[in-house]
Chain A
């Protein structure tokens, strides 16, 4: 790799990292605003105009709070928990194609940090590691609520990962590749995968809610039963990291959803406008982010609509509902592919 490429990649890496954190930060604000609006309130509006400085104020508050490590907690694991959750949440951003290829001075720069040919598997790997942050944190706190929360998280993740993987399998049957860049490239124009895989998309969406521990699947942290679940014993910025990781996860899963099912950075009709290639790429990235934000909004919208599942209902939905449905989806996809 040339020096130019390396510098570009490093800049891109930092940019993606910072944007991820920024989006996660303002997701907390957006969540409160959306919640307020849906409940006929106006939400935070004291810190800065429209309350735009609220995330900063929250961050400062988190840092100023006393950091408590319980006496009987396993200190090393207790400290490791939030950092694992944060790290794995950020790692997935590496393989997402944030845009097309920029042409600067005759050289091609791809707006994707790295294009793994097994990108989809990488996502699953990161999601699977992500549950360790929750499990370790919950177990190390030496608290029954935290332990229950983390046990729930682990079993929920395993149950829904199956259906998710099977939903993706049907998608891969159709695309014939595991590389995210190629999957996006196939969805030019209106050939979005959601139109070819509606059932698969539905299964994936439901599983994405479960994997990010968002309502109605926020069993691991349900406040009313487990007083916060796995982060019961956490305080100060360690708690902040856990909450933050949830929002990063939401951002990343929205990005994955947009990439896999909504045509990624492709924008229908943009090629007819006669813009220069680089402008199209930049606009594509913008469009990609608009898709992501709409999906994040959808995540929040659902959270303030649907009540939490009971645990046995959750398991029933996962194993008896989504899993057979995913199998049927694969079968239908295969059948269609053979016949056409």
Chain B
């Protein structure tokens, strides 16, 4: 069979030559290889201080978006929870009271919205399922915790801050192509 790289060596139980038999040249060769690595550039990225560059469509920590007026977009329809293959999302819906129109966009909203980050597999199906453009995965990372309970994220972490400066940009994930795809979503799923 022809070899792919021409780098493979045909070996066998042939008798070793004297230099091979005393091993020392091979040992010295090995030592030379390891000492070269001692001065090589290190592959490590010291995480909290330096961060690896992420792809613009990296699927990390979720965000619950608000609309331009700062109202929550989520209507607690539950499609994300249905779409979630890991069953990581739970929510409790509530009705909007009069006078809360500046907080919630529709008459129904999620009173409780929890994602269990230990279950989540960051597949992005929730984002795909959402008809309201309310949930997105971002290029932020989920930090590790000591307690399992601390990894069940509620609205206080997931919800986008009201402050304009702290808004989370998801425009990279909302390209025209994505919007077009989302419009045809029903069609796509029915296929």
Q: Which residues of A contact B (CB under 8 A)?
A: 34, 37-42, 45, 301-302, 304-306
Contact = CB atoms under 8 A, between A and B. Distances in A.
B30 interface: yes
Contacts of A37: 37-38, 42
Contact of B46 (A38, A39, A42): A42
B40 interface: yes
A305 B43 contact: no
B31 A39 contact: no
A41 B44 contact: yes
B31 A302 contact: yes
A38 B37 CA distance: 5
Interface string B114-141: 0000000000000000000000000000
Given A40-B37, A301-B34, A45 B46 contact: yes
Contacts of A306: 27, 30
Interface in B15-63: 27, 30-31, 33-35, 37-38, 40-44, 46
B34 A305 contact: yes
Nearest to A41: B44
Contacts of A38: 34-35, 37-38
Given A301-B31, A305-B31, A306-B30, A42 B44 contact: yes
Contacts of B43: 40-41
Contacts of B31: 301-302, 305
B16 to A, nearest CB: 13
A227 B89 CA distance: 42
Dominant SS among interface residues on chain B: helix
A54 B73 CA distance: 49
B44 A304 contact: no
Nearest to A298: B31
A37 B44 CA distance: 10
Nearest to A307: B30
Contacts of A45: 46
B35 to A, nearest CB: 7
Q: Which 5 A-B pairs have the closest CB atoms?
A: A305-B34, A305-B30, A42-B44, A38-B34, A37-B38
A301 B35 contact: yes
A304 B41 CA distance: 18
A204 B27 CA distance: 17
A222 to B, nearest CB: 19
B34 A42 contact: no
Contacts of B27: 305-306
A207 to B, nearest CB: 15
5 contacts: A37-B38, A38-B34, A38-B37, A301-B34, A301-B35
Nearest to B21: A321
* Interface core residue of B41, B44, B46 (most chain A CB under 10 Å): B44
B141 to A, nearest CB: 18
A41 B34 contact: no
* Interface core residue of B33, B37, B38, B41 (most chain A CB under 10 Å): B38
Contact of A40 (B30, B33, B40, B46): B40
Nearest to B43: A40
A40 B34 contact: no
* Interface core residue of A37, A41, A305 (most chain B CB under 10 Å): A305
A304 B34 CA distance: 8
Contacts of B44: 40-42
B38 A41 contact: no
Contacts of A304: 34
Nearest to B28: A305
Nearest to B39: A37
Contacts of B41: 40
A171 to B, nearest CB: 20
A248 B56 CA distance: 52
A40 B33 CA distance: 12
Contacts of A34: 38
A305 B24 CA distance: 13
A302 B37 CA distance: 13
A41 B42 contact: yes
Contacts of B35: 38, 301
Nearest to A304: B34
A6 to B, nearest CB: 46
A299 B27 CA distance: 13
Nearest to B24: A202
B30 A42 contact: no
Nearest to A321: B22
A304 to B, nearest CB: 6
Nearest to A216: B27
A42 B42 contact: yes
Contacts of B38: 34, 37-38
B13 to A, nearest CB: 16
Contacts of A41: 42-44
